[in-house]
């Protein structure tokens, strides 16, 4: 089993994502979030979100990562497609969440929970902008093997 929290409009709180994360955590299920899902996971554990002055919609970015977990075996950096106006504020991250990927200018692009089978990405691995070297597809395959042993 794996719960996948997808991208979507509005804020995670407006969509009820933090409450959904709570229910998934209570059931002990593996969880992977993309974009809105990533933000909702961060909010559930106590992080705060910020809003970009200029949204990043349909833009490729170079993403650097720690080469572990869902990022193991991927080139670093790799190109990923971004479509968001909200971001996780690094200074508000709780101790149990670890930054696993970021842009060159320090925007958090990946998180993992240190004790639970939970990981997330801000970028869109399914985007045409993330398919160079099949990075987005390979990341999604790693999600299945890393979070669902």
For the chain, percent of residues with pLDDT exceeding 70: 100
CA–CA gap between residue 142 and residue 71 (Å, rounded): 7
Alpha helices in the chain (DSSP H): 12-15, 17-27, 36-44, 135-147
The full set of domain ranges for the chain reads 3-147
Res 133 pLDDT > 90 = no
CA–CA gap between residue 131 and residue 108 (Å, rounded): 20
- The per-residue pLDDT for range 56-95, each reduced to its tens digit, is 999 999 999 999 999 999 999 999 999 999 999 999 999 9
Options 3.40.1010.20, 3.40.50.880, 3.30.70.260, 3.40.50.720; which CATH number does 3-147 get?
3.40.50.880
The burial of 64, by beta-carbon neighbours within 10 Å (0-12 exposed, 13-18 middle, 19 or more buried), is given as: middle
Comparison of pLDDT for 134 and 45, the residue scoring more: 45
- The per-residue pLDDT for range 90-121, each reduced to its tens digit, is 999 999 999 999 999 999 999 999 999 999 99
pTM for the model stands at: 0.95
Q: What is the mean pLDDT of residues 130-140?
A: 90
Catalytic residues: 35, 124, 126
Helix (H) or strand (E) holding 28: none
Q: What is the mean pLDDT of residues 13-35?
A: 97
SS3 at position 2? coil
Helix (H) or strand (E) holding 141: helix 135-147
């Amino acid at each position: 089993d794996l719960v996948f929290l997808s991208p979507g409009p509005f804020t995670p709180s407006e969509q009820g994502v933090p409450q959904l994360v709570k229910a998934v955590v209570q059931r002990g299920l593996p969880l992977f979030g993309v974009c809105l899902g990533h933000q909702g996971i961060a909010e559930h554990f106590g992080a705060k979100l910020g809003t970009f002055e200029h949204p990043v919609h349909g833009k490729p970015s170079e993403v650097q990562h720690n080469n572990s977990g869902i990022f193991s075996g991927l080139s670093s950096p790799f190109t990923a497609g971004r479509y968001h106006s909200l971001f996780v504020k690094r200074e508000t991250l709780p101790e149990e969440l670890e930054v696993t990927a970021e842009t060159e200018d320090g925007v958090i692009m990946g998180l993992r929970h240190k004790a639970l089978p939970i990981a997330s990405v801000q970028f869109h691995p399914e985007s045409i902008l993330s398919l160079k070297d099949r990075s987005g597809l390979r990341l999604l395959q790693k999600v299945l093997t890393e979070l669902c042993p």
